[in-house]
Amino acid sequence: MLTNSCTKDEDTTTTISDDNFYKQVGYSLVMCYNDIYNQNLAGHPVGGQNITANGPMGGTVIITGSTGYSSNNGITTTDLIFSMTSIKYVTNVSGFETEITLTGATTYTGSFSDSYTSLNHQSDNLYILGSVTHNEILRKIDMTGIVSINRLTSSITANIFGNTVSW
């Protein structure tokens, strides 16, 4: 009698690692902030800003501060504060579905162009409610605290409630 046996690499973890969890939350924050900026400021006149708008997927954001643009080098500058109330956002990347709701103020400062990014997002008291789901495993987040994200052309480093991740 001849028998064959096959083994399949399976994910036997029962939780989402801190690294994956905070990368997904950080990525969702970055994408949410980008969408808030693009939906409300991209293509609008530069200068002082004071806008009340709907969030990308719900909630309300008040955008204050200033924007600038240099036609000599194509660089946009930002010195903004997003004051968010129940801003909802969802991402789905590599099988990780992240749903977040944000309340609090965060900065959107720095500069960028088509080929260059140097942006920073700071919040001293951001409330994040939501979850990350992967392979039917759910990990919730319901926290308030300091969030700092540094975005460069080729990398992002985020510190979310004391957990540092980079990608």
pLDDT tens figures, 39-59: 999 989 999 999 999 999 999
Residue 31 lies in a domain: yes
Residue 63's domain spans which residues? 18-166
Residue 12 lies in a domain: no
Residue 13 lies in a domain: no
On whether the CB atoms of residues 143 and 25 are closer than 8 A, the answer is: no
* Amino acid in the structure at residue 111: S
In the structure encoding, which two tokens stand for residue 73, read together? Answer: 């080098």
On whether the CB atoms of residues 71 and 52 are closer than 8 A, the answer is: no
Quick one: pLDDT band at residue 10, thresholds 50, 70, 90? Answer: very low
Residue 154 lies in a domain: yes
**Total Cβ atoms within 10 A of residue 135:** 10
> What is the total count of domains within the chain?
1
* Cα–Cα distance measured from residue 133 to residue 1, given in angstroms and rounded to the nearest whole number: 44
* Cα–Cα distance measured from residue 140 to residue 44, given in angstroms and rounded to the nearest whole number: 37
Cα–chain-centroid distance for residue 141?
14
Sheet holding 60-70, edge to edge: 47-54, 60-70, 75-93, 96-112, 117-134, 137-152, 155-160, 163-166
Q: Global pTM?
A: 0.90
Q: What is the mean pLDDT of residues 64-80?
A: 95
